[in-house]
Structure 1
Amino acid sequence: MNELNHRPVLLEEAVQALHLRADGIYVDGTFGRGGHAQAILERLGPEGRLLAFDRDPQAVQTAEQKFFGDARFSMVRGPFSMMEQTITARGWQGKIDGILLDLGVSSPQLDDPRRGFSFRLDGPLDMRMDPDSMPSAAEWLNRAEEQEIAAIIREYGEERFAKRIAKVVCRERAVHPIETTLQLARIVAQAVPTREPGKDP
């Protein structure tokens, strides 16, 4: 599917839950590829406003392509944690009619091996929403302590073999730095007992 035409899951339900008013002011805190934003703008009148946030530079580029010249729409490159200060700077405190957050990694991010989110497609082990910020997953994984790696895998991956995975990661990175998604996937597969046939750990 073309990224510009990406349709979010439960699009209609999410937009209906906002109870949109034609002249309302709304926030899309996770712009992604603009599916929610487009549906909101289709329902807003000339006085309505939509403020969108995303850390991903590709999302910002998509916004510029999709909504160029639409005075009702404005885009901020940054996390939705900037929402309060941005709303305050615009004088919109107490005037926001609804906020939409579609949390998680987007399909286009998973489908692009260069982003480093997928374990099915080989690519650099990056995993950053904003490639210009913080260390990549590879940089972090190659310098973090074994206990820290185990804690992250246990907490965010809900993985009971977190300690075992962290141990194998540290052993393997001592031989070769971990730099790609499939390299990490192979390491995890080594560390985790076989589960269902054909199912990746």
Structure 2
Amino acid sequence: MTDAAPHLPVLLDEVVQALGPIEGGVFIDGTFGAGGYTRALLAAGASMVLGIDRDPTAVARGKVLEAEAGGRFRIAHGAFSELDRHAEEAGLTHVDGVVLDIGVSSMQIDEAERGFSFRYDGPLDMRMSLDGPSAADVINTLDGRDIARILAVYGEERQAGRIAKAIVAARASAPITRTKELVAIIERVLGAKRFGEAHPATRSFQAIRIHVNHELDELGEALEAAERLLPAGGRLVVVTFHSLEDRIVKRFIQERSRTVAQGSRHLPEATLPPATFSLIHKGGVEPTEAECQRNPRARSAKLRAAARTAAAARPIDPRALGIPAFQPTTRGA
């Protein structure tokens, strides 16, 4: 695309600082993408970085860096929810830090043929891994009530019911296969984009993408895997781009770092398991205004970081982290 913005890793300096010290360390970049974080870690003196990505195009880019890195970088094709398995398969016996950049990359958005963006016309795909059911499969086969729930839960779209009803009506005439077809349906319900406001399709596209790629479930499993993998002192750094992701990461880090339960005058304080992480930053770190000027996509980003303690890892409770449980109820119109 001629108007595509160059890929700029978000909060790069802050990520490297939160993972530090870097010199001689071993790190996992669980969302390799264009390799921005990986290259920064290698430049800072990391002895080994393992990159993970489920997008075959990102893995192909990783293979190029792998050939250039002199044995200091390896790329693995797969989901970051299995980062501990990937580390084992790569022969890593010790990992000093894990960084995760959650969501779709700018390069994926700017490739019209991937179907992630409402700005370009392309196949309604949205699959990060290029396999499994596509976005077109979702909106052409799921019951309207399920589509409405996807839009409401994953996109926090207030007009989810109306949009779902319009999708079901439109697909009765012909399958919806292109991004611009879906955009037109949404605009008929919500109106066209107004100056200074987000595009009316923003929330719906986000919701469908999250559902297609099981992004929130993957995030929860990745946090659990990082806790299993990291030794005492190991760093976990996560960059998110919308409230659903950030809420999950925030709850995980808060719950895992809590040492005193919140009691009340009616209930005694509960006994908590030992904290598995300690906070590096008390709250989320946001990009500076200067970074946002250079890279508008950074505006919604937030970084959260924690250091692993020596306490034993334990399973997560997806519902407690705010990960919705979604099972389609029916198929068809």
Fold shared per TM-score above 0.5: yes
TM-superposed deviation, 1:153: 0.4
Q: How many residues matched? A: 195
Do 1:122 and 1:181's aligned partners in 2 also have CA atoms closer than 8 Å? yes
- The answer to whether 1:52 aligns with 2:59 is no
Question: C-alpha distance in 1, partners of 2:118/2:64?
Answer: 30
Q: Which residue number corresponds to residue 15 of structure 1?
A: 16
Which structure 2 segments of 5+ residues have no match?
201-333
TM-superposed deviation, 1:193: 5.2
Do 2:54 and 2:79's aligned partners in 1 also have CA atoms closer than 8 Å? yes
Residues 68-108 of structure 1, C-alpha deviations (whole Å, 9 max, x = no match) = 14201111111101211122344545x21110001111111
Question: C-alpha distance in 2, partners of 1:149/1:108?
Answer: 27
Q: Which residue number corresponds to residue 150 of structure 1?
A: 148
Q: Which residue number corresponds to residue 187 of structure 1?
A: 185
Identity fraction in percent? 43
TM-superposed deviation, 1:196: 4.0
TM-superposed deviation, 1:198: 7.2
- The answer to whether 1:173 aligns with 2:171 is yes
Question: C-alpha distance in 2, partners of 1:175/1:69?
Answer: 52
Q: Which residue number corresponds to residue 36 of structure 1?
A: 37
Which structure 1 segments of 5+ residues have no match?
none
Change (3 A) 1:68 1:161: same
Q: Which residue number corresponds to residue 110 of structure 2?
A: 111
TM-superposed deviation, 1:178: 0.4
TM-superposed deviation, 1:197: 5.1
TM-superposed deviation, 1:160: 0.5
- The answer to whether 1:120 aligns with 2:119 is yes
Q: Which runs of 4+ in 1 moved over 6 A?
A: none
TM, length-normalised to structure 1: 0.89
Q: Which residue number corresponds to residue 78 of structure 1?
A: 78
Question: C-alpha distance in 1, partners of 2:92/2:66?
Answer: 21
Do 2:31 and 2:51's aligned partners in 1 also have CA atoms closer than 8 Å? yes
Change (3 A) 1:86 1:193: same
Do 2:65 and 2:73's aligned partners in 1 also have CA atoms closer than 8 Å? no
Change (3 A) 1:189 1:198: farther
Do 1:23 and 1:44's aligned partners in 2 also have CA atoms closer than 8 Å? yes
Corresponding letter in the other structure for 2:29 = D
Change (3 A) 1:197 1:26: closer
Change (3 A) 1:197 1:86: closer
Residues 18-74 of structure 1, C-alpha deviations (whole Å, 9 max, x = no match) = 0033221100000011111111111125xx111110011110111112331420111
Q: Which residue number corresponds to residue 88 of structure 1?
A: 88
Change (3 A) 1:36 1:135: same
Query: What SS does structure 2 have at the residue aligned with 1:75?
Result: strand
Question: C-alpha distance in 2, partners of 1:54/1:69?
Answer: 18
